[in-house]
A and B are shown apart, each in its own frame.
Chain A
């Protein structure tokens, strides 16, 4: 299983897969384009150039308390990053070979907390801690972005789009897999 809830559409021979907030998708090796539209959310694309496998997640983390100095909801963010890395590994990816792109993190509404910045900071901090090189990023500002990612070739395209194109972020999307549940044998 390489998807975590993404939607697929077939155009000619290339399948377009929309990665929505809270989702993770890793390429199957077939011709595919992973696509998403981002406002405050972050999409992280990981790519292993040797295994030629790539994947994308899309998240918005809870806003940190003002003045706390903390980055956004790390537990859930780490979970979504780990889910992406683990699914890459099941497709032959090796963590030490992975390279990252991050996109999004716009601060869409003037006067509101800069949650886009907090999300981008989380992503950068995570990649630095995990020693995954960040080779391209396009974050911040106040514009929505559309990102297309070819998970076989590792190529991305990021364009600014009208804010209306960005889906309204959901407050926090928690996984439906029973995160935190404890089962003693």
Chain B
């Protein structure tokens, strides 16, 4: 049996995706990635059963992080899946909107790998 946590990261920046993959893989996570909300929904429609936690950016083309969270919370199988926002934004207004949409938490970029690791373990315990 493996305790490996499977994370889906959603970010339109290829550079950020590469950074997240390196940070999480080196800490023992299985990492899947999508480039925006639409791609994440497509991926989850066939692979969603494998995912333990989702980390999503907010500002993305096609479907932003708020839209993704709302869509996922509207699906029974993702109602309880932890979703962390990882964004350059830090305003109370944006955080309140994410919380209202059903986000589990908010992490401000640039991320600290140790803090991100601790948050992922806490929300997936």
Which residues of A are interface residues toward B (Cβ below 8 A)?
A: 74-76, 78-79, 81-83, 85-86, 89, 94-96, 125-126, 129-131, 175, 177-185
- Asked whether A178 lies within 8 Å of B90 as measured between CB atoms, the reply is yes
Q: How far is the CA of A26 from the CA of B109 in the complex (A)?
A: 19
**Which listed residue, B18, B61, B107, B109, touches A79 by the CB 8 Å rule?**
B109
Give min CB distance, B106 to chain A, whole Å. Answer: 5
Q: A180-B115, A182-B115, A184-B123 are in contact. Are A78 and B16 (CB under 8 A)?
A: yes
Ordered by A's residue number, 29 sampled pairs between the chains whose C-beta atoms are within 8 Å are A74-B15, A74-B19, A75-B110, A78-B15, A78-B19, A82-B13, A82-B16, A89-B59, A96-B61, A126-B15, A129-B13, A129-B18, A130-B13, A177-B108, A178-B90, A179-B108, A179-B112, A180-B107, A180-B109, A180-B115, A181-B107, A181-B108, A182-B106, A182-B116, A182-B119, A183-B95, A183-B105, A183-B107, A185-B105
Q: A82-B13, A177-B90 are in contact. Are A95 and B61 (CB under 8 A)?
A: yes
| Chain B residues with CB below 8 A from A78, complex form | 13, 15-16, 19, 109-110
**In the assembled complex, B77 has its CB within 8 A of some CB on chain A:** no
Measured CB to CB, the nearest residue on chain A to B57 is: A82
Chain B interface residue number, banded: 20 to 34
| Chain A residues with CB below 8 A from B89, complex form | 86
- Asked whether B119 lies within 8 Å of A184 as measured between CB atoms, the reply is yes
| Chain A residues with CB below 8 A from B1, complex form | none
| Chain B residues with CB below 8 A from A131, complex form | 14
Q: How far is the CA of A76 from the CA of B105 in the complex (A)?
A: 21
- Asked whether A185 lies within 8 Å of B99 as measured between CB atoms, the reply is yes
Q: Is the interface of A mostly helix, strand, loop or mixed?
A: helix
Q: How far is the CA of A79 from the CA of B18 in the complex (A)?
A: 13
Q: A177-B108, A183-B106 are in contact. Are A75 and B119 (CB under 8 A)?
A: no
| Chain B residues with CB below 8 A from A179, complex form | 108-112
Q: A78-B15, A82-B13 are in contact. Are A185 and B103 (CB under 8 A)?
A: yes
**Which listed residue, B110, B115, B119, B122, touches A76 by the CB 8 Å rule?**
B110
- Asked whether B119 lies within 8 Å of A82 as measured between CB atoms, the reply is no
**In the assembled complex, B52 has its CB within 8 A of some CB on chain A:** no
Chain B 74-88: CB-based contact to A (< 8 A → 1; otherwise 0): 000000000000001
